[in-house]
Amino acid sequence: MAEDSPAGSSSPELSPEEEMNIIGATISAAEHQLTVGDTFCLVSRRWLEKWINYTNNKKISTNEGSSSDNQDLNSASTPKRPSSIDNSDLVNESASDNSTMGIELHDTLQENTHYTLLPEQTWNQFCAWYGGGPKLARKAISCGASETELTVEVYPLRLHLHLMPKADQCTIRISKRETIGALHKKACEIFQLNSEKVSIWDYFSHRKHALMNDMDKTLEDANIQMDQDILVEVSDDGGCTSDVQENGFTKNHTSSTLVEPLKTNYSIASKGALRNNNNSELPQIQSLASGIRESEDHKAPPVSVGVSTRGSFGGLTGLLNLGNTCYMNSAIQCLVHTPEFAMYFREDFHKEINWHNPLGMVGELALSFGELLRKLWAPGRTPFAPKQFKAKLARFAPQFSGYSQHDSQELLAFLLDGLHEDLNRVKHKPYFKSKDADGRPDEEVADEYWANHIARNDSIIVDVCQGQYKSTLVCPVCEKISVTFDPFMYLSLPLQSTTTRTMTVTVFSCDGSGVPASCTVTVPKQGRCRDLVQAVSSACGLKQNEKVFLAEIRNHLIHRFLEDPLMSLSSIKDDDHLSAYKIPKSMKNTKFLQLIHRRQELETGNARGTSGWKAYGTPLVFPVSCDATITRGDIQLIVHTMLSPMLKTDTSDLKNVNVEPESDCKENDGPDKPQLKLPLKLVDGNNACIDLSVGEERTVRLPSSSLSVLLFIDWSPKLLQKYETQYLEKLPEVFKTGPSKKARAEPLSLYTCLEAFLREEPLVPEDMWFCPQCKERRQASKKLDLWRLPEVLVIHLKRFSYSRSMKHKLETFVNFPIHDFDLTNYIANKNNSSRQVYDLYALTNHYGSMGSGHYTAHIKLIDENRWYNFDDNHISPINEDEVKTNAAYVLFYRRVRSD
């Protein structure tokens, strides 16, 4: 598959320095003229490194001193000029036999590991000097929300075309930025069809999801994914001849479950500078060369704390699975490869064992763990069976006895706490009474709490793993603020489910400011009612003095008010109907008038054909103060106000009706009274109906037994003609169900998880706080802030949730930093000016379901600067870009020291 031009045939051989300069110039020229459609070529990283070493080392030897020793050394290490370009390691020969696909790449290629992208001019220059190939050209396409950035599409969409009714198949490659029209044309050309008789369908899961008839829409906008099926349907004059099952059109923003293997394409900033995913400029070949030399040196970080972790001296010993003990093996390997623990337990730690701590295990857990650690760091790689350690574990923690699967995080929490108590340097713990802040400076209170904690808890575990956070509680009644500072061993971060759901809510204004309008918002699928309230509030343009009040509507009546902010959104089904009412924030001691609409309908089974009043439409809600005096005329005005946006403007007998809102609901004599009396009936405390169309000056006594007061309005045919009542009649479902693709899971940042953990939230009812000022238990709001961070920060991603009826695991992919996890801005202690930056060195993974899953660990041997996968007794090296998966469960970060 190599190209025909022989190496060096186009020009006389240049010096390495001249080649370097020419290549650098072509890259610089390309960077300044980047546009959509520019061609980039993949070149094998293996071949390019040979060329870089050749040109770089030639250059060094030319500028070295004239010492004979140096000359001998340089001449001995100078690489030869590379042979012709060889991209064969990038090409999937078996897949390239398909004539419609062209040359196919291996699906697992990684940028800057297997290949480098070069501008076409640079590729042409290399070919002129060296020849070879094959040429693997890719186009730059627009990307980003504003489409002002560019990316090189290394892996165009691979689509599987299914021709019906002939049942032919074909696989093609096409850019995701191509239009549906281009796909339609290409399909017709491949199958030699008359384009006028061809329709193409989104054929996800071999079902018709959507007719792709918007010829100008891009495939990306049509949500077409890698390896998706496309139905090419040919119809004759009588119509479609295909009997493929059709599920109808869906507008849901969903995606295929197949994941496009688009590894790490370059993206290009709007200024035109080619950038990679780390936002660093595409290096000139010279700087690329120095980067390669550094990677070959395998240099450790500037400051290395702990023991040597080179595999040749140990650290690559696996643990045999004794029967569902992968949860234990993964947690142990992460602790064993924590440098501070490796150093501590390989030295003489016996003098620190607290033999008499009643909270400890008389030193047996520490001794057993220390012995296990030494075996795992001993030279050699023979797997070890941790039977003795498992026996000790079962003795002191019976919940881990037997051979059932367990949670590795729960085991990790037990080990850290147990090791701390076994190694606690404090033999006699003093007693300290906790003091509230009571207005004292946070720094003073935090230091006091920490000093008291260290006076009782002082061990290698505290030295390495414990931090401190600030906890603020606010009473919702008396607004008492309580501030305490508590230690933590790890952070358990919630995963805001990235598999979102859309929910449609109809918003009503009680002040007559606008007609009802449907509002569709996106909320976490596992979210709570407060998430929906917040989303609707943002979407419907609330005034500063307004809030929304949610209700579920069934059979044209209010079934329930959604008042609990912690209520799970999973209790709201897709075929439910929700309404939201804009009400004033400031009103207190209120009742809600529920305006129920009724109209005459023939009663079922009535032989005489008589009619009765039946509920229809959507109820309206208006808050009224229990402390105000309210008359029948006031209620007439309230209802006129709510209905005023739907009043037809050409209604002659209502032109003079004043519908200005009266928020205080007091008596209102004079010209502000509406002239038309609406047929209103109020249900009193005796469940009797009061006619409000007469006696407008009479005071209404609202029922005291309920927070809601029912108010009926009977819509006669004549009254219906005066209002645009369709706004009340069509209440959409929460989500219009239908055949759809699987919801797209958006990437979730570890920073987002941390922000959710630190967000102020009300306490759950079963965990209410005793307010020292009210002397009662209150559902206070709680806010956590990080105050003091440990040397090793352990982060638990809360993938598992439990309830009485079910167990659930979130498969969410969390994008966690491997390097430079910067927590500086999350520290509430502003007197701490040092940067709080961490690097990842280990993590546990959980694959599969909760009951039958499997645990592994990814661990970095720090002095080797290399990652390994620890799968029980199987240990294998992995690339750093393989560390991040949606199986990540417990993350181990280590502080980066700048000194």
- What is the 8-class DSSP label of residue 281? B
Cα 889 to Cα 327: distance, rounded to the nearest angstrom? 11
Between strands 229-236 and 239-240, the pairing is: antiparallel
Positions marked catalytic: 326, 854
Where are the extended beta strands (E) located within 589-647?
590-602, 611-615, 620-625
- What is the 8-class DSSP label of residue 312? G
Q: Is the dihedral of CA 536, 539, 542, 544 positive or negative?
A: positive
- Look-up: residue for tokens 């395998």? 298
Q: Which amino acid is at 523?
A: V
**H helical segments located in 485-604:** 529-539
What torsion do the CA atoms of 587, 592, 597, 602 make, to the nearest 10 degrees?
A: 180
Plot region of 326 (φ>0 → left; ψ -120 to 50 → alpha; else → beta): alpha
Cα 176 to Cα 242: distance, rounded to the nearest angstrom? 27
* Helices and strands (H, E) in the chain, number of each type: 18, 43
| CB count in 10 Å sphere of residue 562 | 18
What torsion do the CA atoms of 317, 318, 322, 328 make, to the nearest 10 degrees?
A: 100
Q: How far is CA 729 from CA 104, 433, 617, 725, 726, in A?
A: 56, 63, 4, 7, 5
Q: DSSP secondary structure string, 232-249?
A: EEEEETTEE-----B---
Whole-angstrom distance between the N-terminal and C-terminal Cα of the chain?
A: 53
Query: Which H or E run includes 494?
Result: strand 491-494
Cα 408 to Cα 137: distance, rounded to the nearest angstrom? 47
- Look-up: residue for tokens 């040092």? 834
Considering only CA atoms, which of 894, 890, 895, 899 is closest in space to residue 330? Answer: 890
The full length of the chain comes to 899
